């Protein structure tokens, strides 16, 4: 029976003491297993997973194990449950929790900082110095602590954002991605109304960066990429101009669209040597670049250009400064910010996905 002292449940949302969960096996192996339903502690709740999106990083984790400590060289992590873009329903409350009620629909962000290191104390919880140390109170569900490819997950209350009735479960799984884009724009200064913003790379973070920048009044919003289909989604989400870099010189076009001086803000979401150099050269003097993706190897870039032109570069990790809640507020208001889903099967091996979908209740959408 589920229900340790201090944890509250409700008859309406009965919680089983065991649940189904997908767990890592050997590299590239994802296994469906029974696990004890996790129990929320202080400042935590139990979330019944209602929908989960699959991110490219999930596939990397299935392939290579959980990056419990970034760069830490941990061994492959068996029995770990990945999945970080999920939403669901509050099913149980940890001791003293009164910030949420059982039955509320919530989407989640990934990072709950330890709350006791220097960075957490500055409000920089995604840069927690105790990253990967659950003993210190740090959680990054789907990365260092069990995530959302399961029937239930435990979340710190700091990582929850209420989902309005007008937003579907599937849409709500995108909020953490939008939060990452919002965090990037926040760190660039946040005041983008009337400023020129270029987004490089029309993946999920890039597309939502277009949507968030447009919602905040950026003008023009320019999207670059190589896939016309994705660029078309960018147009729907508000890009004033898209550039297929296979057909046009992105730096030249951006300069031309900005009166010759370059873009105020560039959000780099492609993470290649070529696009990072484009970002550097299309930023205006005094401009700012957000690196939201990264290359897997050292890259050769014109860093001198940054110094000569007083350009700042923000390597962002995660979705800090409560950006997920702010993104939720914008998405709740602007239906047009929410991309229409095409539930293609993505890149997850089809058999795995099928059984996963069946196992956890057909609640797993895919991504663009």
By CB under 8 A, what part of segment 2-31 binds a second copy? none
Q: Please, which residue, 296 or 340, has the CB nearer to a second copy?
A: 296
- Which position among 17, 99, 101, 236 is part of the footprint of a second copy (CB under 8 A)? 99
Mark the segment that binds a second copy (CB under 8 A) among 45-53, 150-158, 166-174, 356-364.
Answer: 150-158
CA dihedral 82, 21, 327, 185 (to 10 degrees): 0
Q: What backbone phi and psi angles, to 5 degrees, belong to 28?
A: 70, 10
Q: Are 267 and 181 in contact (CB under 8 A)?
A: yes
- For residue 123, with 0-12 CB atoms within 10 Å meaning exposed, 13-18 middle and 19 or more buried, which class applies? exposed
- Which position among 1, 11, 165, 298 is part of the footprint of a second copy (CB under 8 A)? 298
CB of 35 to a second copy, least distance (A): 25
- Rounded CA-CA distance 285/307 in Å is 10
Binding mask 185-204 for a second copy (x = CB under 8 A): -xx--xx-xxx---------
Is residue 321 a contact residue for a second copy (CB under 8 A)?
yes
Name 355's Cβ contacts closer than 8 Å, sequence gap at least 6.
32
Is residue 345 a contact residue for a second copy (CB under 8 A)?
no
For helices 228-236 and 204-215, what crossing angle results, to 10°? 30
Helix (H, G, I), strand (E, B) or coil at 340: coil
Is residue 235 a contact residue for a second copy (CB under 8 A)?
no
Is residue 217 a contact residue for a second copy (CB under 8 A)?
yes
- Which position among 13, 115, 274, 353 is part of the footprint of a second copy (CB under 8 A)? 115
Q: Which helix (H) or strand (E) holds 186?
A: helix 175-187
- Which position among 52, 53, 87, 157 is part of the footprint of a second copy (CB under 8 A)? 157
- Which position among 318, 339, 359, 363 is part of the footprint of a second copy (CB under 8 A)? 318
Q: Tokens standing for 6?
A: 């201090």
CB of 266 to a second copy, least distance (A): 14
Binding mask 162-181 for a second copy (x = CB under 8 A): --------------------
CB of 288 to a second copy, least distance (A): 10
Cis amide prior to 317 (ω within 30 degrees): no
User: Which whole-number Å values give the CA distances from 297 to 6, 45, 206, 253, 271, in the listed order?
Assistant: 48, 39, 21, 28, 10
What is the 8-class DSSP label of residue 318? S
Q: Please, which residue, 186 or 366, has the CB nearer to a second copy?
A: 186
Specify the pairing of strand 139-140 against strand 111-112. antiparallel
- Which position among 332, 356, 359, 364 is part of the footprint of a second copy (CB under 8 A)? 332
Binding mask 50-89 for a second copy (x = CB under 8 A): --------------------xx------------------
Is residue 118 a contact residue for a second copy (CB under 8 A)?
yes
Name 358's Cβ contacts closer than 8 Å, sequence gap at least 6.
none
- Which position among 19, 21, 92, 215 is part of the footprint of a second copy (CB under 8 A)? 215
């Amino acid at each position: 029976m589920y229900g340790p002292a201090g944890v509250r449940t409700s008859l309406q949302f009965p919680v089983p003491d065991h649940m189904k969960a997908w767990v890592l096996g050997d590299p590239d192996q994802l296994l469906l297993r029974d696990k004890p339903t996790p129990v929320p502690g202080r400042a935590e709740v139990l979330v019944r997973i209602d929908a989960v999106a699959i991110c490219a990083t999930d596939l990397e984790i299935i392939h290579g194990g959980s990056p419990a400590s970034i760069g830490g060289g941990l061994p492959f992590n068996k029995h770990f449950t990945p999945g970080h873009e999920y939403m669901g329903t509050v099913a149980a409350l940890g001791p003293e929790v009164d910030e949420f009620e059982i039955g509320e629909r919530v989407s989640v962000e990934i990072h709950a900082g330890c709350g006791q290191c220097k960075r957490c104390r500055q409000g920089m919880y995604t840069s927690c110095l105790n990253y990967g140390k659950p003993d210190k109170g740090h959680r990054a569900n789907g990365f260092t602590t069990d995530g959302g490819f399961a029937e239930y997950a435990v979340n710190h209350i700091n990582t929850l954002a209420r989902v309005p009735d007008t937003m579907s479960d599937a849409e709500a799984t995108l909020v953490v991605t939008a939060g990452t884009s919002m965090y990037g724009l926040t760190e660039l200064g946040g005041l983008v109304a009337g400023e020129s913003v270029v987004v490089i790379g029309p993946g999920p973070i890039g597309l939502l960066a277009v949507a968030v920048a447009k919602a905040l009044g950026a003008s023009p919003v320019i999207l670059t990429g190589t896939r016309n289909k994705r660029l078309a989604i960018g147009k729907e989400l508000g890009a004033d101009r898209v550039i297929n870099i296979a057909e046009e010189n992105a730096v030249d076009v951006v300069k031309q669209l900005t009166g010759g001086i370059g873009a105020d803000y560039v959000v780099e979401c492609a993470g290649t040597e070529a696009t990072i150099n484009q970002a550097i050269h299309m930023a205006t003097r005094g401009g700012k670049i957000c690196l939201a993706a990264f290359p897997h190897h050292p890259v050769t870039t014109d860093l001198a250009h940054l110094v000569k032109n007083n350009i700042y570069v923000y390597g962002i990790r995660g979705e800090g400064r409560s950006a997920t809640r702010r993104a939720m507020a914008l998405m709740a208001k602007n239906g047009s910010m929410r991309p229409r889903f095409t539930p293609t099967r993505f890149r997850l091996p089809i058999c795995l996905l099928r059984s996963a979908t069946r196992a956890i209740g057909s609640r797993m959408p895919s991504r663009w």
